[in-house]
Amino acid sequence: MNNEKLIKEDLAHIWHPCSQMKDYETLPLIPIKKGRGVYIEDYDGNIYIDAISSWWVNLFGHTNPYIAKKIKKQVDRLEHIIFAGFSHKPIIKLSKRLINLMPKNINKCFYADNGSSAVEVALKMSFHYYKNQGKKRLHFVSLTNSYHGETLGAMSVSDVGLYKEPYKEMMMTPIHTPVPYQISKKSAIAKAGELEKIFQQNPDNICALIVEPLVQCAGSMNMYHPLYLKLAYKLCKKYDIHFIADEIAVGFGRTGTMFAFEQAKITPDFICLSKGITGGFLPLAVVLTTDEIYGKFYCDYSEGKSFLHSHSYTGNPIACAAANATLDIFEKNNVIKKNLKKIKYIKNSVKKFQNLSNVKEVRQTGMITAIELKGYEPQTRIGLNVYQYALKNGVLLRPLGNIIYFMPPYVIKKNEIDKMINVAYEAIKSI
Amino acid sequence: MNNEKLIKEDLAHIWHPCSQMKDYETLPLIPIKKGRGVYIEDYDGNIYIDAISSWWVNLFGHTNPYIAKKIKKQVDRLEHIIFAGFSHKPIIKLSKRLINLMPKNINKCFYADNGSSAVEVALKMSFHYYKNQGKKRLHFVSLTNSYHGETLGAMSVSDVGLYKEPYKEMMMTPIHTPVPYQISKKSAIAKAGELEKIFQQNPDNICALIVEPLVQCAGSMNMYHPLYLKLAYKLCKKYDIHFIADEIAVGFGRTGTMFAFEQAKITPDFICLSKGITGGFLPLAVVLTTDEIYGKFYCDYSEGKSFLHSHSYTGNPIACAAANATLDIFEKNNVIKKNLKKIKYIKNSVKKFQNLSNVKEVRQTGMITAIELKGYEPQTRIGLNVYQYALKNGVLLRPLGNIIYFMPPYVIKKNEIDKMINVAYEAIKSI
């Protein structure tokens, strides 16, 4: 079995996500045989450093033995049980641990399977919360350049045209408020001013503001100052509007703190988590919220105020076992603190990119680092050249247009960081 | 550790799906410790037959050793890999096998994580297919009493008011066509006539008709004749409208054939699968479609016609390993054929319900059997009495209003069928 044979079999029957399938004629698919730590290996024996954590999900390495062990144990005990009317220990344990990581008013967990579904839960809950009190609020506010998922509700509050444009007639129309385009307090203050205008113009008609705290990942890895979160949150409280923190991509340590919103010292009304929650092993998502919100749905059934959302595999025990194992590793290995050194090391290592004539900006928030190129028209798809160069040299990067970024698993070692960065550097120099 | 202690810990932090949380004050949650075959066991040592396959997902028993073995093997090899640009053997194998089970024009698989997301993929693909050819079609047609999921797009084409009503301002408005409310050819013909009127009234403005073939599960287990599918499909072809078969609940043998649409000898343009696909172990979903549809998205990237939908865990290798193991069991054990005997046995066993004065109808399609009660107002929530009686007697039923139904794992044995049916019979007699 080699790459070529598997690629042929793949293309016969598979339509890949987020892909123009014709691209695979010139940029061959890579069938992966196995993974270990930061490395993945294909069927031709090529080995790559997974510098993007397989779409930002992997935290502690591929086939992490500890997480694998816990999954295997759970599979033999209870693989799944309906989560309406029933429960199980892994999810009870997980919920308690997640709540312990949250500000004190966050006290309830509602589960789903993927990030899009979590965003849908938060939007529906916010909308329904007002309705349960006899208030009909029709709008959501989200940031320009935002990305919140692919299902129509989640996509409706997004603003990345590439994903959204074809479907615009199928969706709600959100109100977009300008996001700060730099990590600066001045910009944060200016953009919060714009947000307040929107709140003033739509009294009692906005359910929630939804944001990706600190880093808009799919949105060109745009980064902004925590002060914006602080100010936006204050405005939400002032105008009685929910604050939804979509931490699907940035949660679990990516921005340097366990959750990005912590850096603004705020308590969002809803926090959406997924991706890293299982260490990158299995799909699982959760929306955390307050007892106050929960309370507005808690009543006699006959009042018709129940939140009846469900997915068949909600709270899957195997995925919960992986999530508990992931939290074990965070605790035992003091991961957040240990990452600080790696963050600093990466910071120093990427300075040299500034000297390249085709680099516009190098930006970093915690374990996420982005290098923005300049001087290329979008249609040249310059990122693909970097992608190919890096693959040939043993590193999986997946640029977003002209943004090259690193979001590696936290188990990456110094020499692996060096390789990842040097290959990207040479790639950018070569184009 | 006992039920009481775990229930308390659960309720402190968990908001359960499809639940009025206040109900748990009188109908206690049941924390499950382990599962084996059709049985689940709680922390007080009570054992229950899972007569609803944990929300219609389990096929071959809890912690089925063969599926468990295959998962454990995969966990150590490759737990996950980004599915854009990359691939892996379990999904290549699975896709080929799924395609082999389909009519000959179905040739492509697009993956997602849950049923709602699969429906969203089918809707977006259908809409986008027309748009890629310069046609703007704005409507979807779905059946009255339908259920297609919880995310806003999937929910928009649903018609079960209980789940949908609170959110109606957030969604597209579909066109509903009346579903046949009985398994009769006459009704099928009449309702197909209604459908044709809708198609005639909306020329070139309907993307697709979406149906749950043969059984509307969440919609009170309403069953209808395959002739309706045949006629509706013919109309779709006549008026150039896509036919989407939502087989999330009815696929993988539930209706007696591997897929329900087979009984109408049709080739839907889109087939959505989830639930049973992993044997009830892990979330996974897939949308199968034709090369013709795939072809309308296949072009140079610059044309802007790509289907860029994605979920982080799309095509998760562990879930695919479970799905391959599930298909192994279907093949090795000749499951569809062997189920015929069970279907017949259940059919004979449920005849006695007809004699109960509070039974309106007994209906069955394959491995799905429903008993509709009569003489109870909805607000009495009579199903809950049956639910409680059955739990006390070792059977997990989860009535839909006044519909008591059986959808057991296929490994259920004769004596277990007897127990399941007898407990339900006594429960109905007792209310």
Q: Which residue of B has its CA nearest to A107?
A: B13
Q: Please state, in angstroms and rounded to a whole number, the distance separating the CA atoms of residues A117 and A246.
A: 12
H or E element, residue A360: strand A359-365
Contact of A356 with chain B, judged by CB distance below 8 Å, is answered with: no
- Residue pairs between chains A and B whose CB atoms are closer than 8 Å: 427
State the pLDDT at residue B158.
Answer: 95
Q: Which residue of B has its CA nearest to A97?
A: B13
Q: Please state, in angstroms and rounded to a whole number, the distance separating the CA atoms of residues A33 and A417.
A: 23
For B223, phi then psi, to 5°, come to -120, 145
Q: How far is B275 from chain A (nearest CA, A)?
A: 7
Instruction: Encode pLDDT of A328-351 as tens digits.
Output: 999 999 999 999 999 999 999 999
State the pLDDT at residue B4.
Answer: 98
How many residues does this entry show for chain B? 431
Q: Please state, in angstroms and rounded to a whole number, the distance separating the CA atoms of residues B80 and B95.
A: 17
Instruction: Encode pLDDT of A135-147 as tens digits.
Output: 999 999 999 999 9
Q: Please state, in angstroms and rounded to a whole number, the distance separating the CA atoms of residues A112 and A118.
A: 6
Return the closest-CA partner of residue A349 out of A407, A411, A417, A253.
A417
Q: Please state, in angstroms and rounded to a whole number, the distance separating the CA atoms of residues A66 and B419.
A: 41
User: Does residue B407 contact residue B368 with C-beta atoms inside 8 Å?
Assistant: yes
State the pLDDT at residue B163.
Answer: 85
Q: Please state, in angstroms and rounded to a whole number, the distance separating the CA atoms of residues B51 and B17.
A: 19
Contact of A115 with chain B, judged by CB distance below 8 Å, is answered with: yes
As a whole number, the mean pLDDT across chain A is: 97
Q: Please state, in angstroms and rounded to a whole number, the distance separating the CA atoms of residues B58 and B51.
A: 10
CB atoms within 10 A of CB A348: 9
Q: Please state, in angstroms and rounded to a whole number, the distance separating the CA atoms of residues A412 and A416.
A: 6
Q: Is B150 in Cβ contact with A153 (below 8 Å)?
A: no
The token duo for A250 is 């940035």
Which residues from chain B sit within 8 angstroms of residue A315, using beta carbons? 17
H or E element, residue A106: strand A106-112
Contact of B139 with chain A, judged by CB distance below 8 Å, is answered with: no
Contact of B88 with chain A, judged by CB distance below 8 Å, is answered with: yes
Q: Given B14, B120, B318, which is nearest A282 (Cβ)?
A: B318
Contact of A377 with chain B, judged by CB distance below 8 Å, is answered with: no
Q: Is A109 in Cβ contact with B289 (below 8 Å)?
A: no
H or E element, residue A139: strand A139-143
Instruction: Encode pLDDT of B140-187 as tens digits.
Output: 999 999 999 999 999 999 998 888 889 988 888 899 999 999 999 999
Q: Please state, in angstroms and rounded to a whole number, the distance separating the CA atoms of residues B72 and B179.
A: 44
Contact of B285 with chain A, judged by CB distance below 8 Å, is answered with: no
Instruction: Encode pLDDT of A217-248 as tens digits.
Output: 999 999 999 999 999 999 999 999 999 999 99
The token duo for B65 is 């050793």
User: Does residue B223 contact residue B145 with C-beta atoms inside 8 Å?
Assistant: no
- Domains of chain A and any CATH numbers: 31-63+334-430 (3.90.1150.10), 68-332 (3.40.640.10)
State the pLDDT at residue B181.
Answer: 95
Q: How confident is the model at residue A163 (pLDDT cuts 50, 70, 90)?
A: confident
Q: Is B76 in Cβ contact with A398 (below 8 Å)?
A: no
Q: Please state, in angstroms and rounded to a whole number, the distance separating the CA atoms of residues B139 and A324.
A: 44
Those residues of chain B that have pLDDT short of 70 are: none
Q: How far is A190 from chain B (nearest CA, A)?
A: 31
Question: Of chain A residues 198-257, which have a CB less than 8 A from chain B?
Answer: none
Q: Given B9, B13, B167, which is nearest A107 (Cβ)?
A: B13
Reported in sequence order, the residue ranges of B80-204 that DSSP labels E, i.e. its strands, are: 86-88, 106-112, 139-143, 175-177
Q: Is A381 in Cβ contact with B301 (below 8 Å)?
A: yes
The token duo for A282 is 């299995």
CB atoms within 10 A of CB A273: 25
| Stretch A397-416: mean pLDDT | 97
Which residues from chain B sit within 8 angstroms of residue A36, using beta carbons? none
Mutate to test the interface with A, among B10, B16, B52 (most CBs of A within 10 A): B16
Instruction: Encode pLDDT of A102-117 as tens digits.
Output: 999 999 999 999 999 9
Question: Of chain B residues 36-55, which have a CB less than 8 A from chain A?
Answer: 40, 52, 54-55
Which residues from chain B sit within 8 angstroms of residue A68, using beta carbons? 75-76, 79
